Amino acid sequence: MNTVKVELAERSYEVRIGTGLIDRAGAEVASLLARPRVAMVTDETVAMLHLPALTTALEGQGIAVTALSLPAGEATKGWENLARCTEWLLEQKVERRDVVIALGGGVIGDLVGFSAAILRRGVRFVQIPTTLLAQVDSSVGGKTGINTAQGKNLVGSFHQPSLVLADIGVLDTLHVRDFLSGYGEVVKYGLLGDASFFDWLEGQGPALRDGDVTARLHAVTRSVEMKAGIVSRDETEEGERALLNLGHTFCHAFEKATGYSDRLLHGEGVAIGCALAFELSSRLGLCSQEDPSRVRAHLKAMGMKVDLADIPGDLPEAETLLAYMAQDKKVVDGQLRFILARGIGQAFVATDVPGDAVLRLVQDALVGR
């Protein structure tokens, strides 16, 4: 097992990464509990696959368990299920000193984390992320929230978990498409700040995808180390944390255009967005022309979506996509902020990106469809 510490003074916590963590969950969480009971929230798919083992592990340590299963999928991350989850936790008589467990992917982690943040003005929660995306990204760093009709993640709060247990064994039951979607966030770390990690991924990515446990452990650990470091230095995204949004302004526009449906998964949009961010960087003369080609080649070698043509169904025209980007919450004083790069592993925040360059980029990307 590897342990990465997220250093945030009195809100510091550990991310434990390894195999068999769910089977040991009772012992892992016991020291956090003021009394031996937890309320767990998961989704219906994860409940079927992994809730029995987690329940057995907790009960084996004398911890009483109640569980709620919400429907699986992005549509769950909204007002309706936030109310349902929060009211259920109140019905379970969860008190301020109790601990709530979020077992699932980023949808459950974000929703349940937000519910824990507002329940009795904040109760502690433990993340047990079950997707690659959640293990390398969403379970770490304390961003919680829901989507609304106006856009993604527009309502939420910073609420750090008390512990993260990333059991990489549960990734075996993920559909390959969901695994690769999470891989989009893994690649992002190499691209934004660690060129040698990207080199390593170019070599080991296929083994990692095909189930190599050592490679998975390294990829998850390195990703979490990078995220933990950034979050420790900039918890509330005043500066450096924005780099984690590499590819995301594009991604959020495409997600909105596809109605947050399974036409495009979040990590797929991130991968396409990263490819576009490097293409834009190259067009603006910030990085070499080889860099976007290298990014695209790796995503293709992994069997991932790379182009807008890989998104099934119609997309709106470039102007509309640009308007969606302008609604992204990374907009400051109406100025589009993009994360661009001076090379692989060298991302930075650009506030003065010419709108017409972005428009031409998206127009060209749409032509390929």
Ligand X SMILES: NC(=O)c1ccc[n+]([C@@H]2O[C@H](COP(=O)([O-])OP(=O)(O)OC[C@H]3O[C@@H](n4cnc5c(N)ncnc54)[C@H](O)[C@@H]3O)[C@@H](O)[C@H]2O)c1
Interface segment toward ligand X; rule CB under 6 A; list 28-36, 43-51, 295-303, 329-337: 43-51
227 as an active site residue: the answer is yes
Q: Can you give the length of the chain in residues?
A: 369
Q: How many CB atoms lie within 10 A of CB 106?
A: 25
2 as an active site residue: the answer is no
Q: Which is nearer to ligand X, 26 or 105 (CB)?
A: 105
Half-sphere exposure of 326 (CA within 13 A, CB side): 13
Phi, psi of 354 (to 5 degrees): -65, 125
Asked if residue 106 binds ligand X (CB under 6 A), the reply is: yes
Q: Enter the DSSP assignment of 346.
A: -
Q: Which helix (H) or strand (E) holds 226?
A: helix 213-233
Site string for ligand X, 44-73 (x = CB under 6 A): -xx--x----------------------xx
Residue 99: strand, helix, or coil = strand
Where residue 366 falls (left for φ over 0; alpha for ψ -120 to 50; beta otherwise) is alpha
Residue 5: strand, helix, or coil = strand
Min dist CB 247 to ligand X, Å, is 11
Min dist CB 259 to ligand X, Å, is 14
Q: 37, 77, 188, 256: which one contacts ligand X (CB under 6 A)?
A: 77
Q: How many CB atoms lie within 10 A of CB 80?
A: 11
Q: Which two tokens stand for residue 214?
A: 């050592």
Site for ligand X in 283-322 (CB under 6 A): none
Site string for ligand X, 240-279 (x = CB under 6 A): --------------------------xx------------
241 as an active site residue: the answer is yes
Q: Which is nearer to ligand X, 129 or 345 (CB)?
A: 129
Min dist CB 53 to ligand X, Å, is 11
Site string for ligand X, 124-143 (x = CB under 6 A): ------xx-xx--xx--x-x
121 as an active site residue: the answer is yes
Inter-axis angle of helices 195-209 and 213-233, nearest 10: 140
Q: 55, 81, 127, 153: which one contacts ligand X (CB under 6 A)?
A: 153
Q: Where are the alpha helices (DSSP H) in 73-194?
A: 79-91, 106-118, 132-133, 176-193
159 as an active site residue: the answer is no
Residues 272, 274, 280: CA angle, nearest 5 degrees: 105
Q: Which is nearer to ligand X, 237 or 307 (CB)?
A: 237
Asked if residue 81 binds ligand X (CB under 6 A), the reply is: no
Half-sphere exposure of 145 (CA within 13 A, CB side): 13
Smallest CA-to-CA distance from 273 within 318, 327, 338 is with: 338
Instruction: Give the Cα separation of 174 and 134 in Å (integer).
Output: 12
Q: Which is nearer to ligand X, 83 or 176 (CB)?
A: 176
Interface segment toward ligand X; rule CB under 6 A; list 106-114, 191-199, 329-337, 353-361: 106-114
Q: Which is nearer to ligand X, 38 or 230 (CB)?
A: 230
Q: 6, 33, 43, 291: which one contacts ligand X (CB under 6 A)?
A: 43
Instruction: Give the Cα separation of 272 and 252 in Å (integer).
Output: 11
252 as an active site residue: the answer is yes
Site for ligand X in 168-187 (CB under 6 A): 170, 173-174, 178, 181
Phi, psi of 46 (to 5 degrees): -65, -35
Instruction: Give the Cα separation of 226 and 194 in Å (integer).
Output: 9
Q: Which is nearer to ligand X, 220 or 287 (CB)?
A: 220
Min dist CB 95 to ligand X, Å, is 25
Instruction: Give the Cα separation of 201 and 151 in Å (integer).
Output: 32
298 as an active site residue: the answer is no
245 as an active site residue: the answer is yes
Query: Are 346 and 246 within 8 A, CB to CB?
Result: no
Catalytic-role residue among 185, 235, 255, 279: 185
- Active-site amino acid positions: 121, 143, 185, 227, 237, 241, 245, 248, 252, 266
Q: Which residues contact ligand X by CB under 6 A?
A: 43, 45-46, 49, 72-74, 77, 104-108, 110, 130-131, 133-134, 137-138, 141, 143, 152-153, 170, 173-174, 178, 181, 266-267
